[in-house]
Amino acid sequence: MIKGNFDIPLDFLSTSTPPLIGVDISSSSIKMVELSEAPKKAGYIIERYTIEALPQDAVSDGNINNLDAVSDAMRRAWKRMGTRIKNISLALPAAAVISKKILLPSGLRDEDLELQVEAEANQYIPFALEEVNLDFQVIGPSIASPEEVEVLLAASRKANVEDRVAAAQVAGLKTIIVDVEPYAAEAAFEQVRSQLPGGGVDQCVALIDIGATVMNVNVMRNDQSVYTRDQQIGGVQLTQMIQNTFGLSADDAEAAKRNGGLPDNYENDVLLPFRESVATEITRALQFFFTSTQYNEVNYIVLAGGCASISGLDDAVATRTQVSTLVANPFAQMSLSSRIKPRQLQTDAPALMIACGLAMRRFDPS
């Protein structure tokens, strides 16, 4: 992997790491997950997790606008976790990363491979290489040509990386890995895929992460992403609907959405239309998938993100799309420490997909 003079490597496919915490910085909250390995390598144990709300607009469109607010939230979250581990794994949003699969001659020495990657990167990255963090991984032999290997290249502007690392540093935490959000979610998805009939082998599974402002659609088949798309819908819309319907402030509407206590007409006047809107957007996303790829069927939909646990959303999506739909829980087959409340984890699990995938980086093989 390219290290060179880069200050902070974009390290999305690295070797094994020391104990760390997975930290997902979203537009609405800081999510932290700590995992350990069960005895005799019999799976994972979820030791601790927490979700700490962020002030409005502290993070938007994947950019940190208020570093102090983000670092304060990270510090509070870490203290609430009650852990001694200060090493963390972070992730960049997909929009902040340029990724490209390239073909290079097979059999190159590591030094020559790095030089070739740098030369190729100049063709695809619209910035000077000294302005970016760059990483790559050899995927394997090319199907089209046995004399070439397929290499995954990823790059991001240094400012995107440094803002997140700086927020962690101010909070007293040390960034060991900077990943990419879809890759982290895919890592956690492996814990979900094993729950599907036949392990989801030879089937198209749409992992749909519905966050505060963006819905990310990632269709996977046999461990490979075959289609991705972002659509502008998320939990902020529901908050705004609550605000407008009941005359609440943004903070009060958000609190009511999370904790309940809204009037009796909330279900029919607000929640039902929102669920239908999300289901419609998911149906549209699948149509884009069918028209843009060779595939004409999705076998399963897995809902993730903070909105996934909204009551009845999975049923609404299944009815509208006519596709079997389940809510993601990457911890379903993990052991729980005595600190974890199972019922609360069941509610929070869909929102913890990225943080879980980042926490799993601790166990990457060397």
For 347-364, write each residue's pLDDT tens digit. 999 999 999 999 999 887
Residue type, 322: Q
**Do 1-195+331-366 and 196-328 have matching folds?**
yes
Does the domain formed by 1-195+331-366 have CATH 3.40.630.30?
A: no
What does the pLDDT read at residue 17? 61
What does the pLDDT read at residue 255? 86
What does the pLDDT read at residue 16? 52
C-alpha angle with apex 328: 327 to 332, nearest 5 degrees?
Answer: 115
- Low-confidence spans in the chain with pLDDT less than 50: 1-9, 12-13, 15, 366
Fold of the domain spanning 196-328: Nucleotidyltransferase; domain 5 (3.30.420)
- pLDDT digit string, tens, across residues 159-212: 889 999 999 999 999 999 999 998 899 999 999 998 999 999 999 999 999 998
What does the pLDDT read at residue 333? 93
Q: Are 158 and 132 in contact (CB under 8 A)?
A: yes
Query: Phi first, then psi: what are they for 63, rounded to 5°?
Result: -105, 140
Query: What residue segments make up the domains of the chain, in order of their start?
Result: 1-195+331-366, 196-328
What does the pLDDT read at residue 365? 58
